[in-house]
Amino acid sequence: MTIKNKLRAGFGFLFLLAIACSGLSIYFLNRLSVDSSVILKDNFETIVYVRNIGIAIDETAGPLNKHQVKAIETNLVKQEHNITEIGEQQLTDSLRSKYEQLKLLENDPARQTELRKEIRGLLFGIMKLNMDAEDRKNAIAKATAGNATLLVALIGSFLFLVAFSFIINFPGYIANPIKELTERIKEISKRNYRQQLDFKSNDEFGELAQAFNNMTFKLDEYENSNLASILFEKKRIETIINSMHDGVIGLDERSSIIFVNQVACELVGIPEVSLIGRYAPDVALENDLFRNLLQADQHKMKIYADGRESYYSKEITPVMSKEKLIGKVIILKNITEFQQLDEAKTNFIATISHELKTPISSIKMSLKLLEDKRIGEINPEQRQLLENIDDDSRRLLQITGELLDMAQVETGKLNLNFGSTHPKNIVDYAVKAVKFTAEQKAVSLKVDCDDSLPEVRADLDKTTWVLINLLSNAIKYSPERSQVELQVKKLKGDDIEFSVTDHGQGIESRYLSRIFERYFKVPGSKGEHSGTGLGLAIAKDFIDAQAGKIGVESELGEGSRFYFTLKKAS
Ligand code: ADP
């Protein structure tokens, strides 16, 4: 039965019981009033009639006078119409007969007295009969009242018990399943989908349980299938990572190792099982290579693997999710092949530049000889052509020189001649070297180098080369009749800073980080076609080798400031 019908039946039953109880009460009250009214009316009237007859009989001792006869006659007739009890008819009939006899007697006082006595006896009999009846009916009325009280009390008690059990059980009947349902829903919110409701009833709660159980079954099924597909995807990603030729190591946000592929395991020489789940800095304590892997500054690594030296480039990529760091991936790319090609290229450049130097020098020598008047007069056109050849061969010599320097740096054959020297020496050499070019462009050089500055520890040739390069660039990229400032100053600590400031075209900020890269030239700049893009790269190598720092600050259209630092001589 549905809850709705159960409620209807329950309340209906209580309603019926209440109606039955009130009906019975009304019925018994009615009966009691009927019984009482019968007692009062019929029996009481008989007693009144009998008493009136008795009074009339005893009024005189002799024969009945007219008044007596009338009183007796009236009351006797009323009594004859008010027979209610068994035996009352007989007694009333006898009373009639005795009264008729007494009425007819004129002169027989003895018989009259006797008849009067018999009449009194009959009157008494009728009175007693009615009084007894009164008592009996009273008893019946009492019994009816008693029965009514008992019955109403019984029905009332039953009604009370039913209502009481209804009040006790009904809230629980509704609330208990709701409570259980709430508990199960809380479990589901904790992703615990294996929840079942066991309501056996055939009502709405039964239907609810069935629907709930179906839902949890489906959720559980979905969760399991989801899990299976997630596991499958995980397996697929692991397989992809493992089949990569690069070494891959994954760390979580607390630097614990969460995955590592076969290549990475072989490189660090630790099996996967000994790496997964471990705190990476702990592994770094035991393994030098792993320590290098975690260092952010080292990008190229030489690793001895497969019985030979191999070169790897290392890339540490932070993994972000919603702007929050959730881990890191370290990728080790085998660049041995590129390294070998690079070395071959460097050697080739070194050889070619070296081989080119001699013929270019001899061209220059021949040019010098041609200028000699003893060899023969040359006309202005020929002189112009010779000057062009001289210009080009000077540039060629510079380019081959730069290429050689770069090859030296790349092959690690850079030999530095360290010594103590005053910054003024470096400045003087450099200024002398660029003076002619500056004058040609009417660029004034403003030098600020105090004599009181301490000596620096430097390779004089290389450092002068760097300063010449910076000054040449400054002049090259400055407008005519502008000023280039060369300043040397002592920084906080032991560093001495050399800086060259121009008021030329400046450099776009997006190119600043690439300006020291090999062969890089700012696109669209004045010198894009003339230079090699090697000068600043070599300058950086020279300064790095002397443990100094080189950098640039520039504003497009405003000019640039190139600077480098050297250590104070100890
Ligand atoms: P290059 O031989 O081409 O001058 P560099 O390495 O000396 O090579 O310079 C690299 C690039 O940096 C140049 O091509 C030029 O675009 C830019 N550059 C260098 N110095 C300056 C400067 N003072 N002002 C503006 N641009 C400059």
d(C-alpha 221, C-alpha 478), whole Å: 75
| Mean predicted confidence (pLDDT) in 495-506 | 96
Query: In the predicted model, what is the mean pLDDT of the chain?
Result: 88
pLDDT band, residue 420 (cuts 50/70/90): very high
Cβ of 477 closer than 6 Å to ligand 1, yes or no, is yes
In this structure, what DSSP letter does residue 568 have?
A: B
pLDDT at 403: 83
490 in the Ramachandran plot: left (φ > 0), alpha (ψ -120 to 50) or beta? Answer: beta
Find where tokens 């000699």 sit: 372
Task: Give the mutation target among 468, 522, 562 for probing the ligand 1 site: most ligand atoms within 8 A of CB.
Answer: 522
pLDDT in tens, 157-180: 888 888 888 888 888 888 888 888
Backbone angles phi, psi at 556, to 5 degrees: -60, 125
pLDDT in tens, 521-563: 998 876 655 677 888 998 998 999 899 999 999 999 999 999 9
pLDDT in tens, 360-378: 989 988 988 888 888 788 8
CA distance between the termini of the chain: 104
CA 131 to chain centre: 96
Cβ of 496 closer than 6 Å to ligand 1, yes or no, is no
pLDDT in tens, 107-156: 888 888 898 899 999 999 999 998 888 888 888 878 878 887 888 888 88
Closest C-alpha to ligand 1, atom 7: 535
Rounded alpha-carbon distances, angstroms, from residue 89 to 43, 76, 80, 92, 353: 13, 12, 8, 5, 167
| DSSP string of 394-432, one letter each residue | HHHHHHHHHHHHHHHHHTT-----EEEE-HHHHHHHHHH
Task: Give the mutation target among 399, 515, 526 for probing the ligand 1 site: most ligand atoms within 8 A of CB.
Answer: 515
pLDDT at 277: 93
CB count in 10 Å sphere of residue 237? 11
Angle at 373 between CA 367 and CA 377, to 5 degrees: 90
Would you say residue 298 has pLDDT above 70? Answer: no
Would you say residue 39 has pLDDT above 70? Answer: no
d(C-alpha 463, C-alpha 426), whole Å: 7
Cβ of 484 closer than 6 Å to ligand 1, yes or no, is no
462-486: burial string, b at 16+ Cβ within 10 Å, e else: bbbbbbbbbbbbbbbbbeeebebbb
Backbone angles phi, psi at 245, to 5 degrees: -85, -15
Q: Closest by alpha carbon to 282, among 273, 291, 269, 272?
A: 291
CB count in 10 Å sphere of residue 108? 11
Would you say residue 415 has pLDDT above 80? Answer: no
